[in-house]
Amino acid sequence: MGFEQNLRKIAPYVPGEQPGNVNKVIKLNTNENPYPAAPGAEEIACNLKDKDMRLYPPTDAGKLSRAIAGYYGIDTKNIFVGVGSDDVLATAFLTCFNSQVPILFPDITYSFYDVWAELYKIPYKQIPVDEDFKIKKEDYLQENGGIVIANPNAPTSLAMPLEDIEFIIKNNPDSVVIIDEAYVDFGGESALPLLKKYDNLMVVQTFSKSRSMAGMRIGYAFAGDRIIQAMNDVKFSINSYTMNYPAVEMGVAAIEDEEYYKATIAKIVKTREKAKKEFTKLGFKVLDSKTNFLFISHNGVKAETIFADLKKRGIFVRHWNKPRIDNYLRVTVGTDAQMKKLFEALKEIL
């Protein structure tokens, strides 16, 4: 046995496959944005200087916080920036979920939530979504040590109305309620305006999807002063320098180019709506997506078979061997050209 018994054992989160030859395959499996980041961000990457690598970056990513603050009209003391929203959410779990009473989240949701709960030994209860994969607000009235809801939810792509989100926040004043808005920019309603009213709310967003910067790893949270202060205390107890210099500078450039950001979102939403119709014509049930992906199930051919046949053709989508969703596929919205190739392949497979 020896040291073995002291090793921490955890079944980790399994991200979608990142094939080595990304330029040869059509990658619709990790909800990345198919369009480049804002041109200003790329320019910064091309002009990095010695000092940008040699010196430690500012510990508070202040320049990026100020840019986010300016864009959303929120005070910097109510913003926490991290290495993708995964880092922000992990820090939030460690900081805010410290009760013996279970935290609550849906059974079908982002599959990192139960991993963090296991890692940090946070008791948790998974609340079944209904048969249409909808989250029922009344289920979140029971005693709890915290709540986390992805809105829109993943992998279902469904958005909850803001009134339902407010109902959950309002009825749980003694719990931190985290709303994970990784996909909100593609058609959801953000809970950000509720921040003034509720000090138990945290809203988490990311640059990975709508700002095409998954590789730079930038995420952020909005919350009241006390929660952000506690998050910073935890962060500074693990790693002071989480945000590297290029990520901060490139993030600022992305925030400053609102026109590019809006145009990219509009392109994806347009392709998504077209793809919904195409999938339906091919015999797929398609959930009403408010995200940059579609959650689909075919009326004849098994999801697993479609997944494997697409992969053979170099088209990557996502499939989970999990109860309730094992006959579904999650397909990221790509460019029109990528979607055309996908539909050509599906016509051969089905």
Tokens representing 314 are: 């170099």
Q: How far is the CB of 207 from ligand PMP (least distance, A)?
A: 7
Q: Dihedral (C-alpha) 182, 188, 192, 193: value to the nearest 10 degrees?
A: 180
CA 89, CA 312: separation in Å to the nearest integer?
35
Q: Which is nearer to ligand PMP, 36 or 283 (CB)?
A: 36
Cis peptide before 57 (omega within 30 of 0): no
Q: Quick check: 68 binds ligand PMP (CB under 6 A)? A: no
Q: Which is nearer to ligand PMP, 247 or 306 (CB)?
A: 247
Q: Which is nearer to ligand PMP, 208 or 345 (CB)?
A: 208
Select from 79, 92, 129, 150 the one that contacts ligand PMP (CB under 6 A).
150
Q: Which is nearer to ligand PMP, 115 or 349 (CB)?
A: 115
Query: Tokens 């979608």 correspond to what residue?
Result: 16
Q: Quick check: 110 binds ligand PMP (CB under 6 A)? A: yes
Q: How far is the CB of 220 from ligand PMP (least distance, A)?
A: 9
Beta bridge partners of 106: 127
Q: Quick check: 334 binds ligand PMP (CB under 6 A)? A: no
Parallel, antiparallel, or unpaired: how do β-strands 293-298 and 329-332 relate? antiparallel
Query: Tokens 């003391």 correspond to what residue?
Result: 77
The answer to whether the CB of 76 falls within 8 A of the CB of 225 is: no
Q: Which is nearer to ligand PMP, 84 or 187 (CB)?
A: 84
Q: Quick check: 85 binds ligand PMP (CB under 6 A)? A: yes
Q: Quick check: 219 binds ligand PMP (CB under 6 A)? A: yes
With contacts defined by CB under 6 A, name the span among 41-49, 83-91, 158-166, 253-261 that binds ligand PMP.
83-91
Binding mask 176-215 for ligand PMP (x = CB under 6 A): ----x-x-----------------------x-x-----x-
Select from 84, 146, 251, 334 the one that contacts ligand PMP (CB under 6 A).
84
With contacts defined by CB under 6 A, name the span among 37-45, 46-54, 84-92, 194-202 that binds ligand PMP.
84-92
Q: How far is the CB of 293 from ligand PMP (least distance, A)?
A: 9
Q: How far is the CB of 308 from ligand PMP (least distance, A)?
A: 22
> Counting Cβ atoms within 10 Å, is residue 173 exposed (0-12), middle (13-18) or buried (19+)?
exposed
The answer to whether the CB of 228 falls within 8 A of the CB of 19 is: no
Beta bridge partners of 220: 81, 205
# residues contacting ligand PMP (CB under 6 A) = 12
Task: State whether residue 243 is helix, strand or coil.
Answer: coil
Rounded to the nearest 5 degrees, what angle is found at the Cα of 6, between the Cα atoms of 5 and 11? 85
Q: How far is the CB of 178 from ligand PMP (least distance, A)?
A: 10
Tokens representing 75 are: 């005070």
CA 90, CA 112: separation in Å to the nearest integer?
9
DSSP structural state of residue 27:
E
Nearest residue relative to ligand PMP (C-beta): 84
Binding positions for ligand PMP, 128-147, rule CB under 6 A: none
Report the interhelical angle of 258-281 vs 245-256 (nearest 10°): 80
The answer to whether the CB of 317 falls within 8 A of the CB of 284 is: no
Under the rule (CB under 6 A), what is the footprint of ligand PMP?
84-86, 110, 150, 154, 180, 182, 206, 208, 214, 219
